[in-house]
Structure 1
Amino acid sequence: MILRVSTPAAGRRPAVLVAAVLAALLGLTACTGSGGGGQTAQGETAPPGQSAKVAVEPAEGAGDIAPRDPVSVTVSDGTIAEIALTNPEGEQVEGELSEDRSSWTIGEPLGYGKTYTWSGSAEGTDGTTVPIEGTFTTVTPSATSGVKSNVGDDNTYGVAMPIALTFDAPVEDRAAVEKALHVETDPEIEGSWAWLDQGRAVHWRPKEYWRPHTEVSVRAELYGVHLGGGVYGDNDLTVAFSIGREQIVRADTQEHRMAVYRDGEQVGDYPASFGLESDPGRVTRSGIHVVMSKHPTYFMNNPGYGYEDFEVQWAVRISNNGEFTHSAPWSVADQGNRNVSHGCINLAPADAKAYFDSALQGDPVEITGSSEPLQPRDGLYHDWIYSWEEWRSMSALNG
């Protein structure tokens, strides 16, 4: 027997399919429930919005805030709508708002002894507005101390030139000062700060002479820094300078000669007369001196030895104790033979002029052979009398 299976007519299939789709949709609707009440696709209730929470630093009403202390506003559960920090004169302080508008950070140091006021608002995730408000007061120093530099912008110096920062008064918190000092060099070179002049000056020198043609930049971010004892920094300081060619003088008091080397080659060798050795007050000091200044004409004064306003030509100062190289036509016969000066290096006029023309502030003058060494009491610059280990130990951060 043959069984016949009947099939629905073609025109009835769409009705069956529509019924199935409707059933599925009704079933889905039954699973998700009705659409009110902030529920998620999984049926969970969405968390309600939050009111913005504002945190200010320093705290409301804080006092004795240093001009460089952290100052900021941070908002959680919301964003900063508007913000300003103003000084007593109504001027706004510079600052930076983060990309997500959740924080604002100060962008400049504050003034001394001033009350600063916050204003503005934050908007929470619930859409409500919360004020940003409050005040704080900066410290009033017992005194301020300024700082100045021995090197100047765009100048060129010799390979022994130290960086010397001098303060108006001795510094108590020397570590705080060093943390605010920055030296950058190209190429990089090892160096360190050291405190001199009973804490009134801090010098930076490389471990060895500078490499010729080094580029140097110095930043002293000292305004607002507590220097100790209620004294605060009065100013910042920045300077950029260059190191020139290498020129080194090597002078031997026993050989009575002064030789000049430039970039490793000898370019001068002059007969000289140094300080009279029988008088400790006139002996030329042994050690590494540094060229400090040059004067086509200079008037020497030493009342203790009976002369004032004594005129010399082509004078190059190499220490603060009265040591120069200069023209000395009166001692030409002694130059190369005997030491008769009052501590200076006497040269013939033509030799003195030749050296004067070549000398650069910061050039080293290495003197050997005398009975008296260069010492701190001889003044600037005696930086190179110390070994590298001694120099580093004179840093407040390394000592």
Structure 2
Amino acid sequence: MRRLLIVAVALVAALGVASAVALTAAAQGTGPLAAPAAPQVSYQPAERSAGGASTGTAPASSANPAEPVSVRAAGGTLDGVALTGPDGETVDGALSPDRSTWTSTAPLDYATTYTWHGRALGADGATTPVAGTLGTLKPAHEVRGTLNIGDGRTVGVAAPIEIRFDRHVDDRAAVERALKVTTSTPVEGSWGWLPDDNGGSRVHWRPKEYWPAGTHVRVDAPLLGVGYGGGNYGAENLSTSFDIGRAQVVKADTRSFRMVVERDGRQVASYPASYGLAADPDRNTRSGTHVVTEKFTDKRMVSPQYGYDLVEKWAVRMSNNGEFIHANPASASAQGASNVTHGCVNLSPADAKAYYDSARYGDPVEVTGTPVRLSPKDGDISDWTLSWDRWQQLSAL
């Protein structure tokens, strides 16, 4: 009996030691009774602490909506992750192949609070919630831009690319760095900033020489989230794709009293014409490269200075200073013989209609032979009045 008692006591003591070891291991998180390890969840961008360092865990309160946001589960996988706006709409996003990271694939909106949903799962079943809010920055103003050439259009070889903004742009370099022009054949060109118009800035891209005929052009302007200075930001992304058509160039030598049309290097028409009266500088047709911008079957033309108010047929605008190529039966006797107009190029109705039918936006009209030069004050498209070196100096980069 005594021996049995001793054995029993020894067994209890052994069990006591084993229990102590197990409890110690559990307390240290290494033994079979350890608590499941929950995955670590971090967000990007993350909130900044007062000292400027990223905490790496809390969602940002002033994220740039153009930049992707993400959530990551270290030591686990993500399940049911979603980022929703105040209207309950979810933001498009995608999981990484190992399901540890979710990243947005669509831009967010300005001045909006989004909410995270979902959870992170550990290998042993432990979970960590994906939760919290994400706020995007609020611009002083959202500045909108407009491209001048729409998708799918075909334009002439002198057409510039223009982005017109509805407010002044201070940080022009930041905007210009975001812009990209891609062409189907190599074309040298540059952006140039022109004087503000109607309270807004404008930037043009011009090739060094006329566009090669048949070139396909794509413009990408991812301006959402780009800082314009003064707390202003780009309102949206812009893009367009278009084609350069045939190379039609008007040669308008005022001394010849004719207007010649060349297409792809070959003369296709020569019309008797009358240009601006040389004796009056205000009536001279300006020498220089004009660009066709629009055309009208009937155009009312008014001049308080010279006292006329009339409607002319087949009017093709070649500058914003009032210069057109149009029909004018009243000057028929001067066409081909003398220059008597108020600055426009006068043709017969039949010739004006033929030219009207062939003209398109971006066609160059090269006027020569007058003492008054076309200048930036003569209209929106004065790009070709500048030398290539001078044009490049208008870039902000």
| TM-score scaled by length of structure 2 | 0.83
Q: What is the SS of the residue equivalent to 1:151?
A: coil
**In 2: Cα distance, 1:95 partner to 1:292 partner:** 43
- What is the CA distance between 1:316 and its match in structure 2? 0.8
Question: Residue type of the partner of 1:260?
Answer: V
Tell me if 1:359 matches 2:359.
yes
Partner of 1:187: 185
- What is the CA distance between 1:251 and its match in structure 2? 0.9
Q: How does 1:238-387 map to 2 (within 5 A)?
A: 238-308=239-309, 310-387=310-387
Question: Residue type of the partner of 1:72?
Answer: S
Which of 137, 142, 145 matches 1:144? Answer: 142
Structure 1 unaligned residues grouped into runs of 5+: 1-36, 38-44
**In 2: Cα distance, 1:175 partner to 1:104 partner:** 33
Partner of 2:129: 131
**In 1: Cα distance, 2:376 partner to 2:69 partner:** 43
- What is the CA distance between 1:120 and its match in structure 2? 1.9
Does the aligned pair in 2 maintain the 1:172–1:229 contact within 8 Å?
A: yes
Does the aligned pair in 1 maintain the 2:68–2:107 contact within 8 Å?
A: no
Partner of 2:10: none
Does the aligned pair in 1 maintain the 2:68–2:105 contact within 8 Å?
A: no
Q: How does 1:89-168 map to 2 (within 5 A)?
A: 89-125=87-123, 127-168=125-166
Q: What is the SS of the residue equivalent to 1:304?
A: coil
Partner of 1:393: 393
**In 1: Cα distance, 2:168 partner to 2:275 partner:** 36
Does the aligned pair in 2 maintain the 1:87–1:115 contact within 8 Å?
A: yes
Superposed CA offset, 1:328-379 (max 9, x none): 2222222233221111011222222221121122111011121111111111
Which of 42, 56, 59 matches 2:43? Answer: 56
Q: What is the SS of the residue equivalent to 1:197?
A: strand
Q: What is the SS of the residue equivalent to 1:305?
A: coil
Distance 1:393 1:75, change over 3 A: farther
Partner of 1:12: none
Q: Which has the larger radius of gyration?
A: 1
- What is the CA distance between 1:127 and its match in structure 2? 4.5
Q: What is the SS of the residue equivalent to 2:353?
A: helix
Does the aligned pair in 2 maintain the 1:293–1:361 contact within 8 Å?
A: yes
**In 2: Cα distance, 1:108 partner to 1:90 partner:** 16
Does the aligned pair in 1 maintain the 2:172–2:396 contact within 8 Å?
A: yes
Q: What is the SS of the residue equivalent to 1:179?
A: helix
Partner of 1:72: 70
Between 1:100-109 and 1:192-201, the stretch displaced more is 192-201
Does the aligned pair in 2 maintain the 1:109–1:224 contact within 8 Å?
A: no
Partner of 1:169: 167
**In 2: Cα distance, 1:340 partner to 1:192 partner:** 39
Q: What is the SS of the residue equivalent to 2:243?
A: strand
Question: Residue type of the partner of 2:300?
Answer: F
Partner of 1:5: none
Does the aligned pair in 2 maintain the 1:58–1:136 contact within 8 Å?
A: no
**In 1: Cα distance, 2:96 partner to 2:269 partner:** 62
Between 1:310-319 and 1:176-185, the stretch displaced more is 176-185
**In 1: Cα distance, 2:183 partner to 2:297 partner:** 33
- What is the CA distance between 1:275 and its match in structure 2? 1.3
Q: What is the SS of the residue equivalent to 1:281?
A: helix
**In 1: Cα distance, 2:164 partner to 2:261 partner:** 31
Does the aligned pair in 1 maintain the 2:111–2:138 contact within 8 Å?
A: yes
**In 2: Cα distance, 1:360 partner to 1:92 partner:** 45
**In 2: Cα distance, 1:69 partner to 1:220 partner:** 15
**In 1: Cα distance, 2:350 partner to 2:205 partner:** 36
**In 1: Cα distance, 2:157 partner to 2:79 partner:** 55
Question: Residue type of the partner of 1:316?
Answer: V
Does the aligned pair in 1 maintain the 2:44–2:59 contact within 8 Å?
A: no
**In 2: Cα distance, 1:262 partner to 1:227 partner:** 42
Aligned-residue RMSD, C-alpha: 2.3
**In 2: Cα distance, 1:188 partner to 1:100 partner:** 42
**In 1: Cα distance, 2:70 partner to 2:394 partner:** 37
Q: What is the SS of the residue equivalent to 2:119?
A: strand
Question: Residue type of the partner of 1:228?
Answer: G
**In 2: Cα distance, 1:299 partner to 1:146 partner:** 32
**In 1: Cα distance, 2:59 partner to 2:99 partner:** 25
**In 2: Cα distance, 1:303 partner to 1:234 partner:** 41
**In 2: Cα distance, 1:292 partner to 1:55 partner:** 54
Superposed CA offset, 1:291-326 (max 9, x none): 111112111011122122x11111111000000011
**In 1: Cα distance, 2:284 partner to 2:302 partner:** 17
Q: What is the SS of the residue equivalent to 1:384?
A: helix
Partner of 2:17: none
Q: What is the SS of the residue equivalent to 1:389?
A: helix
- What is the CA distance between 1:126 and its match in structure 2? 5.2
**In 2: Cα distance, 1:343 partner to 1:61 partner:** 64
